Amino acid sequence: MTRWFRQPPPRGVLLTLLAAGLAACFVIEQFGLVDDYVRFVLITLGINIILCVSLNLVNGWMGEFSVGHAGFMALGAYLSACVSVKWLAWGDPLWMFPLAVIGGGLMAGAVGFLLGLLSFKTRGDYLAIITLAFLMIVKSGLENIPYVGGARGFLGIGNHTTLLWTAIWTALTLWAIRNLVYSRFGRGIVAVREDEIAANAMGVDTRKAKLAAFVVSSFFGGVAGALFAHQLQFINPGVFDIVKSTEILVMVYLGGVGSLAGSILGATVFTFLSQVLQPLGTWRMVILPLILVLLMLFRPRGIMGMREFPWFVPRREFPAKEDKK
């Protein structure tokens, strides 16, 4: 993958920024420095970044086309809500909430494993149709389970998604996916996308690489869903429909396929645009897709497509200093 610069960032900058960011989140929250609306938008931004970068793993780096990401979100949202409202309601949110989020992620990851198995035989348009079917099954399934409120929805979820938790999970997601992408598995899925025959001839196990990508992608989709549920405090199956999936797709293809920086950029632009365009009402959903159409015409891989901001690239990936010119 091509990068902007040849130079790695100065040592420790990213860690310092991260620590400062987390501290800022904590302080803002503790002393109520921002109003509820700004806080809500910032949390939405974090959740959107998680959604965007995790879908990017499958749709960008791997080059498949999944439209089922909202389904994984739903699984994570509902399972975490069950944990925090029904199963471990007595627990202190300090340890109970992370457990609920991880539980939601694991649930989504397990189902993602099954969907990954299907991806061996089907790909391209066919995989898109299968993920669409998966999305409909999840939504209809949840509507028919009275235990989680059926079509009326799941009420009374605690407001546990703080700014700090969102920031922690966002950083964790970016870190984990970066590590995966710059490992043999990440190179494997990119190689499969570039030329599957050559990749196989070089010993890349397509199945293993695809399974890993699907499981990780859906796990973090579930994590985002869990955070989402505890932000809104009320979820119903109708929220996790094809429109939600489409929103995530817009973020991915806006920011850029196969790029961490692109995922952050896409999620940020999308989050703020949808807030700014709020007064336009339903016209919002005309303008956002229109932007996508223009983007596909002039920049089909997104703003940062296949390029990376050097700060997100592990240090070992850069040429050594003493390299001859």
Partner 1 sequence: MNPLLEVRGVTMRFGGLVAVSDLSFEVTPGHAHGIIGPNGAGKTTAFNIITGLYTPTAGDVLFRGESIAGQRPSNIARRGIARTFQNIRLFRDLTVLDNVRVAHDAHARYSWPGAMVQLPSARRAEKETIAICLDMLEKFGLGDVAYERAGDLPYGSQRRLEIARAMALQPQLLLLDEPAAGMNSAETLKLVEFLGWLRDHFSVTMLLIEHHMQLVMTFCDRITVLDFGKTIAEGTAAEVRSNPKVIEAYLGPEDGHE
101 touches partner 1 by CB under 8 A: no
11 touches partner 1 by CB under 8 A: no
| Whether 62 contacts 189, CB under 8 Å | yes
Buried (b) or exposed (e) across 4-23, using 16+ Cβ within 10 A? eeeebbeeeeeeeeeeeeee
If the CB atoms of residues 30 and 200 are measured against partner 1, the closer one turns out to be 200
Our CA angle for 203, 207, 213, nearest 5°, is 110
Stretch that binds partner 1, among 114-122, 208-216, 244-252, 261-269 (CB under 8 A): 208-216
313 touches partner 1 by CB under 8 A: no
> Alpha-carbon distance 280 to 170, whole Å?
30
205 touches partner 1 by CB under 8 A: yes
Q: List the one residue out of 56, 28, 8, 7 whose CA is nearest residue 264.
A: 56
Least distance in angstroms from the C-beta of 208 to partner 1: 8
> Alpha-carbon distance 191 to 210, whole Å?
12
If the CB atoms of residues 123 and 284 are measured against partner 1, the closer one turns out to be 123
Q: Return the residue matching tokens 């592990």.
A: 314
184 touches partner 1 by CB under 8 A: yes
168 touches partner 1 by CB under 8 A: no
* Residue from 15, 92, 94, 197 in contact with partner 1 (CB under 8 A): 197
Three-state DSSP state, 109: helix
Q: How many CA atoms lie within 13 A of 115 on its CB side?
A: 34
14 touches partner 1 by CB under 8 A: no
Least distance in angstroms from the C-beta of 3 to partner 1: 9
Least distance in angstroms from the C-beta of 307 to partner 1: 11
Among positive and negative, which fits the CA dihedral 145, 147, 153, 158?
negative
Least distance in angstroms from the C-beta of 90 to partner 1: 31
Residue ranges in contact with partner 1 by CB under 8 A? 1-2, 6, 176, 179-180, 182-185, 187-188, 190-191, 194-195, 197-206, 208, 212, 216, 306, 314, 316-317, 319, 324
